[in-house]
């Protein structure tokens, strides 16, 4: 992802409190327990999830598990809160020192390593949280794998849906 993309992302997070969140749209695609998970996400993350959902819908995607994953792919970040400056630090380290990022992100989510762990581990946490709230196995898989790069073209329906989610997530 480009520096310009990351800059726009940071600005969106800073002004998230100014923009409305169409939570009613999310309610249309989530069961009540999954909607409760969505509502526990930060405002900026809900706005991001709604942009992902809208882009998928605009592209003609209707698979319910894909739409659920669009709304909940970052729900694991709600397990541990970290600040915007910490997010910026993670992005910078990930770009400038990827080996350090991998080392720092592999440990427990506490202390100074917390933002690195959240960045790396939130897909797994999100999948666990969504599964416990009754998400389908496919939605859980999409959430767990949303940050996992695909190697080669998609081999099956799961990977086709995953690729659609990743492409839209990366644009938003």
More confident residue, 85 or 48: 48
pLDDT per residue as tens digits for the range 31-61: 999 999 999 999 889 999 999 999 999 999 9
Give residue 156's pLDDT band: very low, low, confident or very high (50, 70, 90): very high
CA distance 156 to 152: 12
Kindly report the backbone phi and psi dihedral angles of residue 74, in degrees, each rounded to the nearest multiple of 5, phi listed first: -105, 15
What pLDDT is attached to residue 54?
Answer: 97
**Assigned CATH topology for domain 3-171:** Hypothetical protein af1432 (1.10.3210)
Q: Is the pLDDT of residue 9 over 90?
A: no
What pLDDT is attached to residue 85?
Answer: 85
Give residue 86's pLDDT band: very low, low, confident or very high (50, 70, 90): confident
pLDDT per residue as tens digits for the range 16-37: 445 677 899 999 999 999 999 9
Lowest average pLDDT, out of 32-36, 89-93, 143-147, 161-165, goes to: 89-93
pTM of the predicted structure, to 2 decimals = 0.85
**Domain segments of the chain as ranges:** 3-171
b (16+ CB within 10 A) / e for 138-164: bbbbbbbbbbeeeeeeeeeeebebbeb
């Amino acid at each position: 992802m480009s520096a310009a993309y990351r800059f726009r992302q940071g600005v969106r997070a800073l002004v998230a409190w100014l923009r409305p969140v169409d939570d009613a749209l999310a309610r249309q695609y989530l069961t009540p327990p999954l909607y409760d998970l969505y509502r526990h996400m930060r405002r900026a993350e809900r706005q991001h999830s709604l942009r992902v959902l809208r882009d998928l819908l605009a592209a003609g995607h209707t698979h319910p598990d894909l739409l659920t994953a669009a709304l909940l792919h970052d729900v694991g970040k709600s397990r541990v809160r970290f600040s915007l400056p910490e997010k910026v630090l993670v992005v910078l380290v990930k770009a400038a020192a990827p080996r350090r990022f991998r080392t720092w992100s592999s440990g427990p989510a506490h202390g100074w390593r917390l933002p690195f762990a959240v960045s790396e581990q939130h897909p797994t946490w999100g999948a666990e949280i969504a599964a416990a709230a009754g998400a389908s196995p496919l939605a859980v898989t999409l959430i767990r794998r949303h940050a996992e790069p695909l190697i080669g073209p998609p081999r099956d329906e799961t990977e086709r849906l995953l690729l659609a989610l990743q492409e839209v997530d990366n644009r938003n």
